[in-house]
Amino acid sequence: MHFFPRNNSVDYALIHSILKDLKMGDSESLKEYLKDSDTDASSRAQILIEILQEREQFLWLFDSEDIEAEIFNRVPSFSQNNMHDLRQHFHHARKFKDFKTTDEAYYSEGEKILWNRYFQDLHTLPIDKGSHLYLNLKQYLELSNHEKGLKNPEMISKILFPFYRNLKENSAVPFPFLIETLKIVLILNRKHAPALLEYGYSLKERGALDEYFDLLYQSFDDGVWDKELLLTLFQECAQHSEVKRLTKLSRNLFSQRIPHLDVEFYEKVRELLFWSGLFNEALFYGLKAYSYQAHKQNLLSPLRKIFFALGNLPFGEYCHQTSRNQPEHEMSEVVIVVKPGMDFAGIHYKLQSLDPWSRLEMPFLFLPHQKNPRVELSHLSVSESLIFYPERSGTYELKLDLNLGKLVTRKMEIDPPGNPVTYRFMDYSFETTPEALKRLTPFHFLSSED
């Protein structure tokens, strides 16, 4: 699909403002822009280029007959081919209107793919019929009609999905047609992880969040344990504060033996669980990552935060001391711990004087590694903030002195680990002793069924 080259006379700032309105579902500024007699032909053409490049976000726009009329009345400067391509977007938006967020597919009857119907519509679009992706698909389907052994749905899905990605790069291909192509891939192979992700993102873009979550959860229940798909599910649960779902997901996944899930995966999940307030779950995901890395000491440092959150400062400090020989600890490390019983929700902080204030999310604050750390702290109960320059690395207690009417700090001396604490997660347990940490291996986290 070919459009006008970038024109320096076009007001791109105004166009981006209109696109922002469109993303909010407001088309009035677009209509005014097209009607304005001062808007030149290149500018009108340019905004259509921008819309087509992000066409998945504007499916509702192509449903509008009013918008269609405005565009074709006001933008005569498009070439005949481009006009045809643009009309296809409006045509397909109405054609697939009832298939937007449903599993029902236009090009299938049950499990049977209606390939003739698919290729008839495909051939109305400006695609490269000489590309190897198109030819691979066409020739394989033709061969499979004669060689029944080639009629392998999973193999066809593997050929069709790269072709879908190629179509996606072509802005002349209407978004609804792309979605129907994805549906074919998923009918052929319900466990095609990249296609599931693509289809899920399309649901999210269209605001169908319930369907999006249902798709992700169903894929997990179906045993689609793809690393990217699983991380997306964890991230979405954390982002939308779906704590109950996140708890259930973390429990269901933890006992599974999935060889391709690596340390990086468990570290990312640990972090998501931690910032969602699921400290016990975060601990065991962190321990699992540590066991998989043959006890690399740099993985102990993140455990320190978790033990602090669990109120076990002594063992958290032990993890820190054990990992101090790592290069990342060459700089001073300072931790500020809110005095137990004090409401940390009213505390705000900033690391530099010009930084905006941030609310304290945990009852402690780890300052960045640097030679001369500095932090400014405030509390809703006092008018004056505290600017704190620690003299040396270590742990400091922060408390509110009501007599003085201000925040104060004092250096803390944390005792070595005393009586061990046993943490439990499902059928697994961990006792906070140096020996237990040293003995930790992946076999510790195998289920009894293994």
User: How do residues 162-215 score in pLDDT, each as one tens digit?
Assistant: 999 999 999 889 888 999 999 999 999 999 999 999 999 988 887 888 889 999
User: How do residues 363-377 score in pLDDT, each as one tens digit?
Assistant: 899 888 777 889 999
Q: Mean pLDDT, to the nearest integer, of 219-230?
A: 93
Q: Mean pLDDT, to the nearest integer, of 77-106?
A: 72
- If one counts every other C-beta atom within 10 angstroms of the C-beta of residue 340, the result is 9
Q: How many angstroms separate the Cα of 172 from the Cα of each of 93, 276, 354, 382?
A: 13, 42, 47, 61
pLDDT for res 226: 94
Dist CA 387 CA 207 (whole Å): 45
pLDDT for res 6: 47
Dist CA 132 CA 329 (whole Å): 53
pLDDT for res 140: 94
Q: Mean pLDDT, to the nearest integer, of 408-432?
A: 91
pLDDT for res 95: 79
* Cβ contact 174:89 at 8 Å: yes
Provide φ and ψ at 433, rounded to 5°.
-130, 150
341: left (phi over 0), alpha (psi -120 to 50) or beta: left
Q: Mean pLDDT, to the nearest integer, of 434-441?
A: 88
Q: Which of 244-253, 276-285, 318-327 has the lowest mean pLDDT?
A: 318-327
Q: How many residues does the chain have?
A: 450
Radius of gyration for the alpha carbons in the chain, expressed in angstroms and rounded = 29
Provide φ and ψ at 361, rounded to 5°.
-90, -20
pLDDT for res 82: 67
Q: Which helix (H) or strand (E) holds 63?
A: none
Confidence band for 325, pLDDT divided at 50, 70 and 90: low
Confidence band for 101, pLDDT divided at 50, 70 and 90: low
Q: Residue 322: name the closest of 418, 433, 442, 445 by CA.
A: 433
356: left (phi over 0), alpha (psi -120 to 50) or beta: beta
Q: How many angstroms separate the Cα of 258 from the Cα of each of 190, 226, 232, 264?
A: 19, 9, 17, 14
* Cβ contact 392:383 at 8 Å: no
Provide φ and ψ at 348, rounded to 5°.
-125, 155
pLDDT for res 182: 94
pLDDT for res 77: 56
pLDDT for res 1: 43
Half-sphere exposure of 169 (CA within 13 A, CB side): 7
User: How do residues 108-148 score in pLDDT, each as one tens digit?
Assistant: 998 899 999 999 999 989 899 999 999 999 999 999 888 87
Q: How many angstroms separate the Cα of 254 from the Cα of each of 282, 385, 398?
A: 11, 44, 36
Token reading at 63: 């449903």
User: How do residues 37-75 score in pLDDT, each as one tens digit?
Assistant: 777 777 777 888 888 888 878 877 888 888 888 777 766
Q: How many angstroms separate the Cα of 49 from the Cα of each of 27, 66, 350?
A: 16, 19, 43
Higher pLDDT, 91 or 183: 183
Percentage of residues in the chain with pLDDT exceeding 70?
A: 90
Give me the amino acid identity at 38: D
Confidence band for 85, pLDDT divided at 50, 70 and 90: confident
Q: Mean pLDDT, to the nearest integer, of 211-239?
A: 93
Dist CA 265 CA 235 (whole Å): 12
Pair type for strands 394-401 and 334-338: parallel
Q: What mean pLDDT, rounded, does the chain reach?
A: 85
| Domains of the chain (ranges, CATH numbers) | 12-95 (no CATH), 128-258 (1.25.40), 332-415 (no CATH)
* Cβ contact 177:124 at 8 Å: no
The pTM assigned to this predicted structure is 0.80
